[in-house]
Amino acid sequence: MFRKMPFILMATIAAIIFLDPFLSISLKQGLYAVSLSIKSTIVLLLPFIIFGLLFKATVTLSSGATKIIGMILVLACCSNFISTFLSHYVGIWIYHFDLSMISPKETSELNPLWSLTLPKLIANDKAMFAGIILGIVASKICPFPAHKIAAKVDQWIGLLLKGFVYLIPFFVVGFVVKLQFDGVVGTIIKDYSAIFLVIAFAQFSYIFLAYFLLNSCKLKAFINSIKNMIPAAISGFSTMSSAASMPLTIIGAENSAKNKDLARSVIPATVNIHLIGDCFAIPILAYAVLKSFGMAEPSLLSYLTFSLYFVIAKFSVAAIPGGGILVMLPILEAYLGFNAEMMSLITALYVLFDPVITCANVLGNGAFAKLIDRCNEK
């Protein structure tokens, strides 16, 4: 099902548009209520998911806290932050596009058939830092039990996130009904096709420039590095999973590296945390969604705060289709002012574009392995 998720979403959205005249108000209200209920459930569970994934990542990496691991962590954070910060300028450019502003009908409103309100037990930022701190402490005091606990937590969270992936079509469908009711679905389809092209251009321009610079601006070496990574990139596009493409990514990175053992260790350590494709796609899509809903452009300080939390949250991303956006929803809500409809829209857009995003993530990981290899030479 995971590989077919973009097609399932496209079919679902098309079906809602086609069947809209035949759906009763009660059915529309019911579908909208289901989406809101799923959103409330995700918001309730996300702090625990973020805590568990960060705890696991920290325990795994801290246990082998050597100079190389430290360098990998620092450079991964720097790389994610730089690409996220650069996407701010693409996002500003997108924001000033002549996008049609979404303006819901004032004469009528689609109300949910029921309302499920769940308490928020812990803030997401507290869950982030608690996972990191406890992971470091546990890995130092009792490394063996910490590894066992981290593995069990990772197993349960993996099952939970896979369940969320199956719920994504139901999560999206109610908000599509709401947007169709407000008469804005046509506007979204018209505007976002061009934005997808802009995102792809920004992602791959940045990645290819990185490969070119890492190969000392030598064209032949640059072409060889890209050729080595093409099988992994195709695998990432077709499976929408950086983890599933990892064997091919390792082979491609080894073929471009001088220290092949180092390349072999860098890719597994960064496959879930160094995600250049996400760092461009999510912020740029966020700017487009903000413009479409008539929200104010974020200030530079607000975006910097968002970027810092965004980079930290990268350590809690699961390697499943849609995993990149699920853990970012509370950050988009807290620091960019996203509401329920906006979160559903960016989730749908992300999953539709996930093959290209994952392809960029895989190519970016190959470039990162090359960066570590170059730094290790010095």
Region 56-73: what's the mean pLDDT? 68
With a cut of 50, say whether residue 106 has pLDDT above it: no
Determine the Cα–Cα distance for residues 231 and 251; give it in Å rounded to an integer: 9
Q: How much is the average pLDDT of 14-35?
A: 88
Q: How far apart are CA 165 and CA 323, in angstroms?
A: 8
Which secondary-structure segment (H or E) carries 152? helix 143-181
User: Is a pLDDT exceeding 80 seen at residue 66?
Assistant: no
Q: What percent of the chain has pLDDT over 70?
A: 87
Residue 113: Cβ-neighbour burial (10 angstroms; 0-12, 13-18, 19+): middle
pLDDT at 365 over 90: yes
Span 140-158, average pLDDT:
86
Q: List phi, psi (to 5°) of 194.
A: -70, -35
pLDDT of residue 59: 81
DSSP string, 132-144: HHHHHHHHHH-HH
Q: What is the DSSP letter of 316?
A: G
CA 332, 333, 338, 344 torsion-angle sign: positive
Instruction: Give the total number of structural domains in the chain.
Output: 1
State mean pLDDT over 335-351.
87
Q: What is the pLDDT of residue 362?
A: 92
Contact 239, 4 (CB under 8 A): no
pLDDT on residue 323: 67
In contact, 237 and 246? CB cutoff 8 Å: no
- pLDDT surpasses 80 at 37: yes
- The candidate with the shortest Cα–Cα distance to 10, out of 158, 161, 196, 181, is 196
Q: Which residue is listed with tokens 């195709």?
A: 234
At 169-214, the pLDDT tens digits run: 887 788 788 878 877 666 666 778 888 999 999 999 999 999 999 9
- Reported as a single tens digit per residue, the pLDDT across 222-276 is 999 999 999 888 878 866 777 667 778 888 888 888 877 777 777 877 877 889 9
Q: What is the pLDDT of residues 283-331, one digit of tens each?
A: 999 999 998 888 888 989 999 999 998 998 887 765 555 667 877 888 8
Residue 206's pLDDT is what? Answer: 96
If one counts every other C-beta atom within 10 angstroms of the C-beta of residue 254, the result is 18
Two tokens, residue 38:
């799923």
Residue 182 sits in a domain of what CATH number?
Answer: 1.10.3860
Residue matched to tokens 């170059």: 374
Average pLDDT over residues 50-69: 69
Range of the domain at 218: 2-377
Query: In Å, how far are 21, 51, 53, 76, 90 from 150, measured between CA atoms?
Result: 50, 11, 8, 22, 38
C-alpha span between 110 and 261 (Å, rounded): 58
